[in-house]
Structure 1
Amino acid sequence: MNLQQLRYVVATAEHRTMTDAARSLYIAQPALSRAIRDLERELGMTLFARSGRGVVVTPAGRRVVKLAREALDAIHEIEELAAQRQGGPVELRIAATPTLEAGLAGRLLPAYASGHPEVRVHIVRCDGREGVVNAIRDKKADLGLTDLPVPADLVTHPLERQEIVLVSPPGMDLPDPVPMARLDDLPLLLPCPGTPRRAEFEAMFTRYGVKPAAAAESDDRATWLTTVRARSVSLLWYRSIATEAVRAGLAVRSLDPPVRRVIALIHARRRLAPVAQEFVALAEGGSAA
C-alpha cells in the first residue's frame, strides 16, 4: 500500500464514478480501476461495489476511506510544517466566482493577510458555482466561496445572505423596488438552458407565478453588463455587481418581496490544514447575517 493508492481511494469515494475520479487525478480510467483492484486484493476486502455506471462505497470501504483521508491530511500538515521550517511559502488556495471575488479580496483577504503575513493566498477564479465545486473536488483549491446549495459531500460554512437585484438599461419605467409581478414578460438575460443556474431561476419564477421573456441567454459573465445595455434586456444578479453596473450607466433595483441567497465557504469533508481553518474562523467571526 502507498500514498498514491490512498489518494485513488479517496478520489473514487468522492466522485462516485471511476471516470470522474480518474479525470480529477489526471490518469487513465483503466489505470485507476487496476490500482483499486490491486489494493482490494492486497487488503483482502472489497472497497467499492460497482453499480451501473458508478460505484458505491462498501461498509469496509467507508472505514478505509476515513482512515485514508486522515493519513493524507496528516501528510499535508507535515509538508506545510516542513515548508514553514525551511522558510518556504505556505499557500492557501481559495476558489471563487468573479462576482464574489471582489468581496473576498476587499474584506476577508486584507484581514487575513495582516495576521498571517507568511501565507500566500492564491485566488482560483471559477466560472460559477459548479466551477468552485469542481475546484474543491479536484483539489485545485483548499476552500471555495460560492452561493448555496452545493452537493452534500461538501462541508459548508454560511457567511452572509446576498440580495438578488434587477439590473436594467437606463430609462426603463420601473419602480424601486420592483414587484415580482412586473417580471412577467420582462425581457431578461438568463443563464443558458439546461444549466443548474437556469433551473434555479425557473424555479423562482414558478414560485412567484411569473414568466419573464428569455430575450438573451449567456453564461459568459464578462459580457453580461454589455449585453444588458446593448440589447435592452434586464439581468437578475447579486447586489455585489451594483457598483460595476452603475459605473456602466445601468439602473439597479431591489425586488419585492426581496430575494436573498446564502453565501458560504465550502471545502471537502476532511480535516483542513491550519491555515485554512484559521481563514474559516476569521470569515465566520466577521460575517454578518
Structure 2
Amino acid sequence: MNLQQLRYVVATAEHRTMTDAARSLYIAQPALSRAIRDLERELGMTLFARSGRGVVVTAQGRRVVKLAKEALDAVHEIESLAGHGRSADTDLRIALTPSLEPALATRLLPAYAERNPAVRVHIVRCDGRDGVVSAVRDQRADLGLTDLPVPADLIGHPLERQEIVLVSPPGLDLPDTVPMARLTGMRLVLPKRGSARRREFDAMFAKYGVRPVTAAETDERGSSLAHVRAGLGSLLGYRGLTEQALRAGLVIRSLDPPVRRVIAIVHARRRLPLIVQDFLALAEGGSAA
C-alpha cells in the first residue's frame, strides 16, 4: 500500500466513476482500475462495487476511504511542519502559467506585499494546468493559480472568470468578434492530444459543431505564440495573454458566443500556514465573479 493508492481510493469514492476519477487525477482509466484492483487484492477486501456505468463504495470501502482521508491529511500536516528546508513563515511559493501571471502580478501581489512586507513571494512558472497541479501536489508550491476543474485531492477557491479569445497573426480577414462557426476550417495551434486542455477544447468544438484544422500541437505557451507569429495559425487563449500577444504584433478577437473559464487559487487538502491563509483571505476578499 502507498500514498498514491490512497489518493486513488479517495478520488474514486468522490467521483463515483473510474472514468471521472482518472480524469481528475490526470491518469489513464485502466491504470486507475489496475491500482484499485491491486490494493483490493493486497487488503483482501472489495472497496468498490460496479453499479451501471459507475461504482459504489462498499461497507468496508467506506471505512477505508475515511482512514485514507485521515492518513493523507496527516501526511500533508507532517510535510508542512518539515517545511522542506525552507522557512514556512517567510516564503510563499505560487505556481501558475504565464497566461495567468498578469492576473496575479497586477492586483494580488502588490496588495499582498503591502500587507506582508516580510514575506518573500516566489513564482513557480508551469506549462499548463497539469504543471500547476503537480507543483502543488509535490509541495514545490504552496498555492496554484489555474482554471477549474482540478483533481479531487486539491481544493479550489474561485477567483475570477477569464474570457477565451482568438489570437491571430495580422492580415486575416476576420470580424472584430469572431462567430464560433468561423473556426471551422481555420488553422489553429492547439494543445497536444490527450492533454486535459485539449479535451476541453475538443468538447467546445463538439458543442458548437465546428471543425478547425490543427496547424501545430504544443503545451508550451511560448511555443504557441511563436507558431502564431510565424503565421502557422491562430491560437485560443486567455485574455491575460493580450499584452504579450500585442507586443508580438498579433491581433486579439473575442468569440461569439463568448467563452469564459473560472480561474481559481488551489491548494492541497491540509492545514495551511498563516501566510498562505492570509493570501487566500486577500484573494477571496477581492475576487470577482
TM-score where L is the length of structure 2: 0.75
Is 1:213 matched with 2:206? no
**Quick check: 131-140 or 258-267, which moved more?**
131-140
Give the number of equivalent residue pairs: 246
Q: 2:20 is matched with which residue?
A: none
Instruction: State which of 11, 14, 20 in structure 1 corresponds to 2:7.
Output: 14
Q: 1:153 to 1:223 in 2, by over 3 A?
A: same
More off after superposition, 116-125 vs 173-182? 116-125
Structure 1 contact 73–272 (Cα < 8 Å) conserved: no
Aligned pairs for 1:175-194 (under 5 A) are 175-194=175-194
Instruction: From the CA coordinates, give the structure whose radius of gyration is larger.
Output: 1
SS class of match (1:158):
strand
| Backbone CA RMSD of aligned residues | 2.9
Specify the code of the residue in structure 2 equivalent to 1:269: R
Task: Check the 8 A contact 1:76/1:273 in 2, yes or no.
Answer: no
The aligned counterpart of 2:168 is 168
Q: Which residue of 2 aligns with 1:95?
A: 95
Written as runs of structure 1 = structure 2, the 5 A alignment for 1:32-51 is none
Give the fraction of aligned pairs with identical amino acids, expressed as a percent.
Answer: 58
Distance 1:174 1:189, change over 3 A: same
Give the distance between the partners of 1:107 and 1:171, measured in 2 at CA: 34
Q: 1:131 to 1:79 in 2, by over 3 A?
A: closer
Q: CA deviation at 1:66?
A: 4.3
Q: Is the 8 A contact 2:216 2:232 kept in 1?
A: no
Maintained 8 Å contact 1:89/1:118? no
- CA deviation string 1:189-234 (max 9, x = no partner): 1112222211111111111111111122222221222211213411
**Which residue is equivalent to 2:200?**
200
Deviation at 1:170, TM superposition (A): 0.8
**TM-score, normalised via structure 1 length:** 0.75
1:241 and 1:213 mapped to 2: Cα distance? 22
Q: Which moved more, 1:103-112 or 1:168-177?
A: 103-112
- Partner residue of 2:267? 267
Amino acid at match of 1:282: L
Q: CA separation of 1:76/1:47 partners in 2, compared to 1, >3 Å: closer, same or farther?
A: farther
**Pairwise mapping of residues 1-289 of structure 1 onto structure 2 (< 5 A)?**
12-15=5-8, 58-69=61-72, 71-72=74-75, 75=78, 90-289=90-289
Per the TM alignment, residue 70 of structure 1 is displaced from its structure 2 partner at its CA by: 5.1
* CA displacement at 1:47 relative to structure 2: 11
**How many Å apart are 1:62 and its aligned residue?**
3.8
- Which amino acid letter does the alignment assign opposite residue 258 of structure 1? P
The structure-2 alpha-carbon separation of the partners of 1:109 and 1:249, relative to structure 1 and needing over 3 Å to count, comes to same
| Deviation sequence 1:14-64 (CA, Å, 0-9, x none) | 2559xxxxxxxxxxxxxxxxxxx9xxxxxxxx699799xxxx994444444
- Structure 2 spans left out of the alignment, 5+ residues: 11-38, 49-56
Deviation at 1:10, TM superposition (A): 5.0
Give ranges in structure 1 of 5+ residues lacking alignment.
1-7, 18-36, 38-45
CA deviation map 1:103-133 (0-9, x unaligned) = 2122211111111122222222111001111
